[in-house]
Amino acid sequence: MSYSSNPGTFGFETTQRLSPTADGLGRDGARYGRTGIIHTPHGDIRTPAFIPVATQAAMKGIPPEQMKDLGAQALLSNAFHLFERPGEDVLDEAGGLGRFMNWSGPTFTDSGGFQVLSLGAGFKKTLAMDVTGLKSDQVIADGKERRAFVDEDGVTFKSPLNGNLHRFSAEISMGIQHKIGADVMFSFDELTTLMNTRSYQEESVERTYRWAQRCVAEHERLTEVRADKPYQALFGVVQGANYEDLRRRAAGQIASLPFDGVGIGGAIEKRLLGQTCAWICDEMPEERPRHVLGIAAVDDIFAGVENGGDTFDCVSPARCGRNGAVFTRDGRWNIMRACMRHDFRPIESDCDCYTCTHYTRAYICHLLHAHELNGLTLASIHNERFFVRLLDEIRASIDGGYFDDYKRETLARFYAHGSKG
């Protein structure tokens, strides 16, 4: 099956599907996992795929050429941060995000919706915690200042760079993202915390839907105005926190609009990640690609893929690498431990990344302790390759009919020693 909202510029086709099972989380035991191809003006993305995060049009410490060599098919950048610097007009003048950072493949931008959470309540995306009895609409993380203020029309942000006030709305976000020029954009949404009250979550879902309608209208207008530019696909974002009825309602709302794909967003309690994806896929046309925003724990990746995720992004691989945490088939561990100082093996013996084929654990341990930038680069290269390869292998397992065996063996090995991640 193939789908294209704009033939010749953007489209999606499914190549293989997982079979339903008795314990499948979707309707009638459905498992929405699949392989496919997303077609964009700057190339194809074979799914499932991991999309590394180049927040400010750059991977921290890794040139785009190296990202291509390690197998990345696309990169995702942050519209809010690029708006702050260098400004969307600079990227437009440069010929778009990809050309600006010398990346020839597909690109994604988020909408600024994540900053509603990170600058508002100060939390990270996934809150793997028990939130019973902690409901509050004024919640804010310890030591954080509220820098995002939501109203019906949009959000006022207080810049983390200089304290300036910035105004984002559906129309402003679309204008910024069109000038940035990524192949895939996301509609402007409100990302709540798991600790917001039920009544606020209801209000937020409806507000996000109204913003989505405005995003579609502005996207269509700008697409016509900028007809000389490559087509940019627009994905709607489904919110609703941990509530099944709100997730299904939001999915139906987004499905009713002419989006090119869907983003599965929001703060999601870890235990409900797979179920949340299944609820959304129950209500969503299967011909639209699905992007799971901000997920990179190994077990979460499997849960997301099995229940319908086509593409995934997260800052975790590079962020962990910069702090000395490396991902391997045998779990995540810290390469800065004292025992690494005399270990002259690669991080992982069967890894084909540039780091593992050229450098030892001892050398990387030394670089990180010495605060040498090369250490950050080498650890990050390995971690990004780990997740790109993991999704490549998951894709092969679905096509080859051995996904369940691959999932069981991979998770058993990775978590055998109680590893995080």
Listing DSSP states for 285-296 in one string gives: -TTS-EEETT--
Q: How far is CA 306 from CA 72, 116, 223, 239, 289, in A?
A: 21, 29, 34, 20, 14
Q: pLDDT (tens digit, 0 to 9) for every residue of the chain, 421 residues total?
A: 444 455 458 999 999 999 999 999 999 999 999 999 999 999 999 999 999 999 999 999 999 999 999 999 999 999 999 999 999 999 999 999 999 999 999 999 998 777 766 676 555 544 443 445 556 666 666 777 888 888 999 988 889 899 999 999 999 999 999 999 999 999 999 988 888 889 999 999 999 999 999 999 999 999 999 999 999 999 999 999 999 999 999 999 999 999 999 999 988 899 999 999 999 999 999 999 999 999 989 999 999 999 999 999 999 999 999 999 999 999 999 999 999 999 999 999 999 999 999 999 999 999 999 999 999 999 999 999 999 999 999 999 999 999 999 999 999 999 999 888 8
pLDDT of residue 99: 98
What are residue 16's phi and psi, to 5 degrees?
-155, 145
Position 2 scores a pLDDT of 46
pTM: 0.94
330 is known as an active-site residue: no
User: Is 310 one of the annotated active-site residues of the chain?
Assistant: no
Task: Give the end-to-end CA distance of the chain in Å, rounded to a whole number.
Answer: 34
Angle between helices 373-400 and 361-369 (to 10 degrees): 130
pLDDT for the residue 314: 95
**Residue of 89, 137, 313, 352 marked catalytic:** 313
How many beta carbons lie within 10 A of that of residue 198, not counting itself?
12
Residue carrying structure tokens 């007809």? 227
- 140 burial type by CB count under 10 A (0-12 exposed, 13-18 middle, 19+ buried): middle
| C-alpha closest to that of 186 among 212, 155, 163 | 212
What DSSP designation does 403 have?
H
Residues in the chain: 421
Residues with Cβ within 8 Å of residue 15, at least 6 apart in sequence:
34, 35, 36, 37, 399
- 398's tokens: 């679905």
Q: What is the pLDDT of residue 108?
A: 98
Binding residues for Zn(2+): 351, 353, 356, 382
pLDDT score recorded for residue 192: 85
Residue-range domain boundaries for the chain: 21-314, 325-414
Taking each helix axis from N to C end, the angle separating 244-255 and 273-283, rounded to the nearest 10 degrees, works out to 40
Q: Which CATH class is domain 21-314?
A: alpha beta
Instruction: Extract the annotated binding site for substrate.
Output: 110-114, 189, 239, 266
Residue 252: what residue type? Answer: G
Residues 110, 183, 282, 310: which is the catalytic one? 110
